[in-house]
Amino acid sequence: MKKPLLLSLGLLLLFWHITVRAQTYTYIPEKPDVTFLQQLSATCKERYTAEIQALPAKNKKDYLELYEERWTGIKERFDGKEIYTGSAAREYLNRVRAEIVRGNPSLKQLTFDCYFSRTAIPNASYIGHGMILFNMGLFSRLRTESEAAFVLCHEIAHCLLRHTENGINNYVVTLNSAEVQAELRKIKGSEYHKKEQLQKLVKGLTFDSRRHSRDHEGQADSMAVELMKHTRFALGGALSALALLDVIDTDSLHTADCLRRFFNAPDYPFQQKWIAKDGGLLGGHARIKDEEMADSLKTHPDCQARIKALEPAVLRAAQPGAGAFIIDSSRFRSLQESFRFEAIEYAYESNKYTRCLFLTLESLDKRPADPYLVTQVGKVLNGLYLAQKAHTLSKVTALPSPDYRANYNLLLQFVQNLYLENIAAINYYYLRQHHPAMSSYAPFHEAYQQSENFFHL
Amino acid sequence: MSTIKASFLPALLATLVCVQPMRGDAQSKLSIDKVYSAYLRNSGTISAKGAIKGYFFLYQSDKIDRHTNEYTLQILDENLNKVRSIKFEDSKKLSLLESAYNGNTLSFLFKNEDNKTLDMKIYDLEGKLKYTYSRAFDKKTDDLMKQYMTLHSDEGMNKNVFDLGEQGFVSVLPMRDGKQRTYEVDYYSSETKKQWTYVPNDDEEKYAFAEYLGSTDSLIILEVMKKNKVMSTKASAHLIAINFVTKKKAWDIDNSTEDVTLLPSSVVSLETGKIMVMGPYFEKDQNIMKDFSRGLAVYEITTAGKITSKVYNTWAGDFAKYLPTNSKGKIDNIGFLYIHKLMKTPDNKLFIVGEGYKRQVSAGGIALMALSGSSAFGATKIVITDMVIMEFNSKYKVVGATIYDKTNNTALANAASDFNSQHVIAAYLKMIGAFDYEFTTGEPDNSSFAVCYSDYERSSEYKGQTFNSIRYNGKKFTTDKIPLKSKASSLKVFPAKAGSVMILEYFKKDKRLDFRLEKLG
């Protein structure tokens, strides 16, 4: 009789061991490959140099100014290690790229590279000189590979159709045109209503520029569908990707509930005043009605309009054998999973502490005992403590603003409402709950010790 | 023909074409490039109930004709976000004096030199002009104008315009009527087009100086000092309440029937509905302009003007337990105390912020007098000393006082320091901004507050100006310091929303102004 009992106990122990081990698996962020980034930056710079050498002689100075501005923006992304160098992710994205090129052989003549950007902003962009960035914040929210393929095809289309370069050209040509120059001379020479005239001129130029931008988006969408049609990625992904983009900014975190849950220790209970806010015009949480942009001033058409424009072509197309996943669905999922952590790590490295804390709490909501996430809270709160002490809090936090979503704004208000002693106590008691269980995880141990020091100061 | 440079147009156009994102995005940060002071007319804080709620920038955005400019009034919220831009046309001789906020409207007091008017404009939160109230600006308001140009107030705090909750705003202006000096209280409704003026008509004295102390839901409370001759050293102190519903004086506590003379300097509305008044007090036979006060008094008064309780704390008795004070109120090494601020906390403690000043022998002044034979130089000088925070219990008795050392600085070193009384000197020091006290910031209920002052440090680690704070967190006081030397050409600290300060850095080479908010530690 004892043997079966012992066996059961043994199995139980084994099961517990495996389960616990699985739960205590801690994410290790990818260390940026600095050498690779430097090489990539150098390659990009070569392309930039080649492009500016090919600029027309007429109005060259104006072109150079704009290209230099663009290059400065690109270089900042390299210097800030925004581009993700993880080999598994690069390999995956290259496979998606390869499938698109396979189906569209003319793309072999086009110089372009695709990389993941470590930012959590749900977007993707063609930044120039053949560089396409697919933000982790967008990739981690997609449902299928075909949605990812549509996003990539859209950006490839911008590169292929040289929308940025054409836009720059358009701007320079327009600005230096006889009509605009004559108008500027007239404005410069007038004594009264100068600003009014200038605003009228700028408004006209802005409307044109934004209209071109919306046209470009429409062209990129259409071209993307065309490129996708020749791949094995199901075209339905185009429409579902746009539908997702339409609602992607919706708040996913109920900040007040989350803060109350995590920062409510028996020895240091949550205080309602930590999330008190002024809802008036001047409190930072006002809804500014006149900030809603007129359609004519938007750079992108509404997603619903974009879906409507693409539906006929998508529904018409026959794609036998196409599917939502054709490269590697498990790699797709595992990248999505790891990107949530990478985006948190990047936000912390970039000193965007409030963004980091928001992303961390979003993930903690689903995994409250994840050592990496728990430690990240500790690191951020320690960082906020040090910054407030050094009067540099504004350099690592955002302030509540009518531009932000309500739940993000509430987190920003929370940070603003806390004094040094609050930050120290909240952090100490929060981390203490996980001590000593997580103390074997070195980063946790370090964060906890630091929080203890601050608490006892 | 030369081409007009692309930079003539906003760079906005250019940045639109440089990146092709999947979807539109926007972020903002406050940094003002290409600061040309010629266009920035006025800037200042928007206050409500003595707290900073936002900021305004008035700049000339266009010229309409020879006499008229277009102005843009840029309103920032307490987090430096641009929330409203109000455009209007007006005389090119326009300046914005003060602004206040009452939760649902914004008021702006303008001076129009062309029309010679003071215009109070009230806007709703959408930026729509609700009402304009104008009054003539003439010799009678000369004193007001001089005040704006020369007088100092606690940094960022309003001098003359205050909010009265949701109902509207009040201004208390000094007036001159021939040789008589008096004051005027103007009420501006933000709910309906209604404005009235109160001018005292029962003052026997020729000179009356009023200072706004606070308000309740129906009363405006003023401290009024009256005297018969401008150079007279005999004055009477009054606490006057004006009912802004009946538009009449509700009561006047003139100390004539009291045992002592109270010089009211601060008021607080209590939860009981009563008003608490604090200030130095004098014996009846004393001259409030020349003699030393006996101590600090705290009265509780009903809204009908009845004094229901009086508590006295004497320098020689009560304060001496916590500070080395003599019978005249002089504290060893610190001198006399000028009371800057009073705070009542939710747990019924009272804190009073004071700053020391004393008269010292001026060796340099004596030498100059001897050499030159001129009486313009003084034999004494006035030195600003340390900060003092005094704590009172719920019964208004002093229970503690702490001195916060800072570097002494000479505020006055001429003949004026030899011949004037301590009160006159204190008032003068406040007027010229000689005290180091800057402002107090904190939660509206004073559960946490920070007393801020400037100092000059001379240590081995740092030599230069500092911005300092003494913060109360509901239980204890802690101190904090911001060195004012930075990579910027200049750095200045201003009051901001509760618990924070605004740091303004000017980079001369880049012609850039950076603003940021920082919490006080």
Quick check: B79 contacting A, CB < 8 Å? yes
Query: How close, in Å, is residue A186 to chain B by CA atoms?
Result: 11
Quick check: A181 contacting B, CB < 8 Å? yes
Hey, which residues does B101 pair with through a beta bridge? B106
Q: Which residue of chain A has the CA closest to B17?
A: A167
Which structure tokens are listed for B86?
Answer: 């109000």
Q: Which chain B residues are within 8 Å of A213, Cβ to Cβ?
A: 16-17
Quick check: A215 contacting B, CB < 8 Å? no
Label residues A42-72 b or e (16+ Cβ within 10 Å = b): eebeebbeebeeebeeebeebbebbbeebbe
Q: Which chain A residues are within 8 Å of B62, Cβ to Cβ?
A: 192-196
CB contact under 8 A, A175 and B79: no
Mean pLDDT (chain A, rounded): 90
Q: Which chain B residues are within 8 Å of A216, Cβ to Cβ?
A: 20
**Cross-chain CB nearest to A283 (options B75, B77, B448):** B77
Q: Which residue of chain A has the CA closest to B449?
A: A419
**What is the mean pLDDT of the segment spanning B336-353?**
91
Q: What is the pLDDT of residue B40?
A: 56
Q: Which chain B residues are within 8 Å of A401, Cβ to Cβ?
A: 28, 79, 81
Quick check: A209 contacting B, CB < 8 Å? yes
Q: How confident is the model at residue A221 (pLDDT cuts 50, 70, 90)?
A: very high
Chain CA centroid to CA B58, Å: 20
**Cross-chain CB nearest to A421 (options B15, B20, B473):** B473
Torsion of CA A386, A390, A395, A396, to 10 degrees: 10
Percent of chain A surpassing pLDDT 90:
72
- From the list B143, B139, B155, B146, the residue with the least C-alpha distance to B45 is B155
Percent of chain B surpassing pLDDT 70:
79
Q: Which of A360-364, A412-416, B202-206 has the lowest mean pLDDT?
A: B202-206
pLDDT above 70 (res B219): yes
**Cβ-contact A402, A284 below 8 angstroms:** yes
- Strand B260-262 and strand B20-21: the pairing is unpaired
Q: How confident is the model at residue B34 (pLDDT cuts 50, 70, 90)?
A: very low
Q: Which chain A residues are within 8 Å of B17, Cβ to Cβ?
A: 66, 164, 167-168, 170-171, 209, 213
Which one-letter DSSP state was computed for residue A83?
B
Q: Which residues contact B99 (CB under 8 A, 6 or more apart)?
A: B44, B45, B46, B47, B56, B106, B107, B108, B109, B158, B161
pLDDT above 70 (res B143): no
pLDDT above 80 (res B377): no
Q: Which residue of chain A has the CA closest to B477?
A: A421
Q: How confident is the model at residue B316 (pLDDT cuts 50, 70, 90)?
A: confident
**What is the mean pLDDT of the segment spanning B111-135?**
89
Quick check: A439 contacting B, CB < 8 Å? no
Q: CA separation (Å) from A58 to A54, A63, A449, B3, B9?
A: 12, 9, 63, 12, 19
Q: Which residue type does B323 have?
A: L
Q: Which residue has the higher pLDDT, A20 or B472?
A: B472
**What is the mean pLDDT of the segment spanning A139-146?**
96
CB contact under 8 A, A128 and B12: no
pLDDT tens digits, one per residue of A2-28: 455 555 555 554 444 444 444 456 889
Torsion of CA A363, A368, A371, A373, to 10 degrees: 30
Quick check: B64 contacting A, CB < 8 Å? yes
What's the half-sphere exposure (Cβ side, CA atoms, 13 Å) at B20?
A: 33
pLDDT above 60 (res B303): yes
**Cross-chain CB nearest to A73 (options B18, B24, B503):** B18
Which structure tokens are listed for A50?
Answer: 């080649």
Q: How confident is the model at residue B366 (pLDDT cuts 50, 70, 90)?
A: low
Q: How confident is the model at residue B459 (pLDDT cuts 50, 70, 90)?
A: confident
Query: How close, in Å, is residue A165 to chain B by CA atoms?
Result: 8
CB contact under 8 A, A167 and B16: yes
Q: Which of A112-116, B7-11, B14-18, B320-324 has the highest mean pLDDT?
A: A112-116
CB contact under 8 A, B81 and A399: yes
Q: Which of A336-350, A373-387, B359-373 has the lowest mean pLDDT?
A: B359-373
Q: What is the pLDDT of residue A66?
A: 92
Hey, which residues does B133 pair with through a beta bridge? B120
CB contact under 8 A, A401 and B482: no
pLDDT above 90 (res B415): no
pLDDT tens digits, one per residue of A246-292: 888 887 889 999 999 999 999 999 999 999 988 777 888 887 765 44
Q: Which residues contact A279 (CB under 8 A, 6 or more apart)?
A: A285, A286
Q: Which residues contact A253 (CB under 8 A, 6 or more apart)?
A: A358, A361, A362, A365, A407, A411
Q: Which of A67-81, B18-32, B154-168, B288-302 has the highest mean pLDDT?
A: A67-81
Please state the domain extents for chain B. Answer: 38-199
CB contact under 8 A, B20 and A245: no
**What is the mean pLDDT of the segment spanning A285-311?**
75
Mean pLDDT (chain B, rounded): 81
Interface list for A 14-43 with B (CB within 8 A) = none
Q: Which of A258-262, A394-398, B346-350, B499-503 has the lowest mean pLDDT?
A: B499-503
pLDDT above 80 (res A294): no
- From the list B404, B363, B362, B355, the residue with the least C-alpha distance to B384 is B355
Q: What is the pLDDT of residue B497?
A: 87
CB contact under 8 A, B18 and A123: no
Please report where in the chains the tokens 């403690």 appear, as a residue: B349
Query: How close, in Å, is residue B476 to chain A by CA atoms?
Result: 11
How large is the ipTM? Answer: 0.84
- From the list A66, A176, A155, the residue with the least C-alpha distance to B12 is A66
CB atoms inside a 10 Å sphere around CB A177: 11
Percent of chain B surpassing pLDDT 90:
25
pLDDT tens digits, one per residue of B63-93: 899 989 898 888 889 998 988 889 889 888 8
CB contact under 8 A, A170 and B17: yes
| pTM (predicted TM-score) | 0.85
Quick check: B231 contacting A, CB < 8 Å? no
pLDDT above 60 (res B154): no
CB contact under 8 A, B19 and A209: no
DSSP run (H or E) holding A91: helix A87-103
CB contact under 8 A, B62 and A196: yes
pLDDT tens digits, one per residue of A393-448: 999 999 999 889 999 999 999 999 999 999 999 999 999 999 999 999 999 999 99
d(CA B174, CA B210): 7
Show the CA angle centred on residue B317, arms to residues B313 and B323, nearest 5°.
90
Please report where in the chains the tokens 């290209």 appear, as a residue: A67
d(CA B472, CA B346): 13
d(CA B103, CA B343): 22
Query: How close, in Å, is residue B517 to chain A by CA atoms?
Result: 6
Q: How confident is the model at residue B28 (pLDDT cuts 50, 70, 90)?
A: very low
CB contact under 8 A, B503 and A391: yes
Q: Which residue of B1, B3, B23 is the best one to mutate when testing the A interface, meaning the one whose CB has the most A CBs within 10 A?
A: B23
Q: How confident is the model at residue B390 (pLDDT cuts 50, 70, 90)?
A: very high
pLDDT above 80 (res B373): no
Torsion of CA A82, A86, A92, A97, to 10 degrees: 40
**What is the mean pLDDT of the segment spanning B353-374?**
74
Number of CB pairs < 8 Å for A and B?
A: 180
Helix axis angle, A194-229 relative to A87-103, nearest 10°? 80
pLDDT above 80 (res B178): no
Q: Which of A153-162, B151-160, B483-492 has the lowest mean pLDDT?
A: B151-160
Interface list for B 10-39 with A (CB within 8 A) = 10, 12-28
Q: Which chain B residues are within 8 Å of A128, Cβ to Cβ?
A: 18-19
Quick check: A456 contacting B, CB < 8 Å? no
Which one-letter DSSP state was computed for residue A394?
G
d(CA B500, CA A194): 40
pLDDT tens digits, one per residue of B242-301: 998 888 999 999 877 778 989 888 898 888 899 999 998 988 888 877 778 888 999 999
Q: Which chain B residues are within 8 Å of A209, Cβ to Cβ?
A: 13, 16-17
d(CA A155, CA A167): 15
- Strand B500-507 and strand B490-495: the pairing is antiparallel
